[in-house]
Amino acid sequence: MTQPLLSIRGLTKRFATGGGWFARPRDMTAVRNVDLTVERGDVVGIVGESGCGKSTLARLIMRLIEPTEGDVALDGISLGSLDQRALQAARRRMTMVFQDPYSSLDPRLTIAESIAEPFRIQSRAVSHEEIGRILESVSLPASTAKRHPHHLSGGQRQRVGIARALALNPDLVILDEPTASLDVSIQAQIIELLASLRNRLGLTYLFISHDLGLVRYFCNRIVVMYLGSVVEVLSDPKAKPRHPYTRALMDSSFAPDPSLRRTIAPLSGEIPSPFNLPAGCAFAARCNRVTEACRSKRPNLELLEDGHAVACVHPL
Ligand SMILES: Nc1ncnc2c1ncn2[C@@H]1O[C@H](COP(=O)(O)OP(=O)(O)OP(=O)(O)O)[C@@H](O)[C@H]1O
Ligand SMILES: [Mg+2]
């Protein structure tokens, strides 16, 4: 039996924050008991509002930060069990593309130098021709190599960010809001590029976004997070959401066509403080289906039907 590319079990990250002369540090749980299996070739979307733990989950998967509990395994091998050298090798199979191509590229370096950097870290030489080919693979002219980031548009810079991430042939690419800072038309071109690269190179994507509409369009599986926990998993992105939070996200998500944009925000009520989560469902304070049962016990993620799981006492 082949192993899934990525398997995540009980992954939890607590941060101790604050503290000082008069205040004791307090624990907040940024990611809580997350289980997730990603098969080769999957495009898994991770959606949720700002602060729900998406980037923390990404950093845990890359093991840029240590989990408080739980584990991440790549091809069935636990990252926690690896020594530094083996961990570096595992990390090279995973890569990240960030939202802001301005800050992920060093302004002092030419594009050629930026693309050569991952090779240099591995003591590998890379020729001009190879850099030209890498640029052409993201539909940039080879002449871009001589330029500096400030000469490029936001979309061109993100293409460089993608080229750089793919330079060392990773298996898993974590895209953390890769189009969030771009105009809608440029956003569509980058999504198209990512889709074609995935087909051509057989990549697996974890696509982080707060835009459920975009995730439903681009991904073949969706994981919805709320205040650190997974509240719904949809194996069919077009399936009807069963969690009231996913439903609300869907109603408030922008239509891709600007003329169809709705800005109604059905999500009302305060997000509870992550320092002081209620005992029951974390969404209870904002949910229009709430009952007493919701407030007493946090619902677990339960499988409803094949590939569709929801953590809700009263699913839709
Ligand atoms: N190093 C840290 N120390 C303390 N708290 C942190 C740290 N990193 C993240 N957090 C907190 O963890 C929570 C989750 O943050 P995270 O950046 O993962 O959210 P996110 O879903 O990526 O949000 P966004 O959509 O705004 O990028 C937030 O409340 C954040 O303040
Ligand atoms: Mg983030």
What predicted TM-score, i.e. pTM, was given to this entire model?
0.91
pLDDT in tens, 198-243: 999 999 999 999 899 999 999 999 999 999 999 999 999 999 999 9
- Residue 70 near ligand 1, beta carbon < 6 Å: no
Q: What is the average per-residue pLDDT within 111-133? A: 91
pLDDT(284) > 80 = yes
Task: Please give the pLDDT value at position 36.
Answer: 95
CA of 56 to the centre of ligand 1 (A): 6
CA dihedral sign of residues 33, 39, 40, 45: negative
Right CATH number for 6-310 from 3.30.565.10, 3.40.50.300, 2.30.42.10, 3.30.1330.30? Answer: 3.40.50.300
pLDDT confidence of 262, banded at 50, 70, 90?
very low
Neighbours of 49 (CB within 10 A): 15
- Residue 15 near ligand 1, beta carbon < 6 Å: yes
CA of 288 to the centre of ligand 2 (A): 27
- Residue 299 near ligand 1, beta carbon < 6 Å: no
CA of 208 to the centre of ligand 2 (A): 8
- Residue 274 near ligand 1, beta carbon < 6 Å: yes
- Residue 104 near ligand 1, beta carbon < 6 Å: no
Calculate what percentage of the chain has a pLDDT beyond 70: 94
CA of 127 to the centre of ligand 1 (A): 39
Most confident residue range from 15-19, 103-107, 204-208, 273-277: 204-208
More reliable by pLDDT, 103 or 101: 103
Task: Please give the pLDDT value at position 79.
Answer: 94
More reliable by pLDDT, 270 or 116: 116
Residue nearest to atom 31 of ligand 1 (CA): 51
Q: Which residues pair with 172 in a beta bridge?
A: 94, 204
Q: What is the average per-residue pLDDT within 259-277? A: 60
Q: What is the average per-residue pLDDT within 161-172? A: 93
Candidates 15, 50, 61: which one to mutate for ligand 1, based on the most atoms within 8 Å of Cβ? 15
Task: Please give the pLDDT value at position 172.
Answer: 97
**For the sheet containing 43-47, what is the strand order?**
94-97, 172-176, 204-209, 43-47, 221-226, 229-234, 308-310, 302-305
CA of 42 to the centre of ligand 1 (A): 25
Neighbours of 95 (CB within 10 A): 22
pLDDT confidence of 181, banded at 50, 70, 90?
confident
Instruction: Assess contact for 281 and 313: CB atoms under 8 A.
Output: yes
Task: Please give the pLDDT value at position 129.
Answer: 94
Task: Please give the pLDDT value at position 264.
Answer: 36
pLDDT(75) > 90 = yes
Instruction: Assess contact for 215 and 161: CB atoms under 8 A.
Output: no
- Residue 30 near ligand 1, beta carbon < 6 Å: yes
Residue nearest to atom 6 of ligand 1 (CA): 15
Which ligand is nearest to the Cα of residue 56, counting in written order?
1
Residue ranges of the domains in the chain?
A: 6-310
Among the ranges given (9-23, 60-74, 174-188), the one the predictor scored with the smallest mean pLDDT? 9-23
